[in-house]
Amino acid sequence: MSGSTSQRALNDAYEWDRFNPESYQQHNYRDLRSDDREILEIIRDHFTATAPDAPVTGIDVGAGPNLYPTLSMLPFCDDIELYEYSNSNVEWLREQIKAYDHSWDKFWGVLEQSPEYSKITDPRQRLASIARVTQGSIFDLPRRRWGMGTMFFVAESLTQDMDEFRLAVAKFAGALLPGAPFAAAFMKESHGYRVDDTAFPAVAINSSHVAQCFQGITSEVLTTEVTFEHPLRDGYDGMIVATGLISAASDLWRDDEDSAQTATARCLARSR
């Protein structure tokens, strides 16, 4: 399915500064759900198995009011950038990284079941010492800068247009260095969502769409569908987690801008 830009609202049609992070966090992450537990276990085990021996720089793209992707990178990074577009989310993140809410302790509890994570005795202090928040658009990400990355519920939840979704995935992948481990999560077959009284978009994607987006720009990618006992809201069919390593064999990481733009165009065409 591919929505044309004339029929589907693009990212810039929405009022992202009206996003209420407190309300969203309370609804989605006040408690540790079974589906989030499963996702945490997947990304914990993936990063434990694939992270470089020496600390790297990490990025969580579209961090929003969700800290657990960033927490999943804590043992492996000496610098983590929380990259976010919305003013309200940026302000929330800057307060949270100083000393995050106790609701996140349950999420850290899943991660610290791995020895790599349990070595960190004070995750709050660790996060405060290495994390920083940067405001910016996913479409303006610099290329090949970070050695590890996450992107959770972002690319499919910022637009109604399939091509813009694909471009967002390509921008995320292109921001990572060759060989970088990554984890990305997506809402399956989402038809949009509301935060308080404000409506936000979504593209109804499935595992095939996700795998196609990463084809050719990752050395390997594993997609896992995560089901739920009780939905968070109406209008979606579950979650998809993609884990893998960024491939060196792609023009996305060439120095010249023309090659990178051509490679991005090929990614979009291939995933149609």
pLDDT tens by residue, 16-53: 888 899 999 999 999 999 999 999 999 999 999 999 99
Mean pLDDT score, 142-154: 97
How many other CB atoms sit within 10 Å of the CB of residue 197?
7
Beta bridge partners, 176, equal 146
Residue 7: which pLDDT band, with cuts at 50, 70 and 90? low
Contact 134, 81 (CB under 8 A): yes
116/15: higher pLDDT: 116
230-to-35, 38, 39, 259 alpha-carbon distances in Å? 9, 14, 16, 45
pLDDT surpasses 90 at 93: yes
In 50-175, where do the E strands start and end?
56-61, 77-84, 131-135, 148-152
Structural domains of the chain ordered from first start:
12-270 (3.40.50.150)
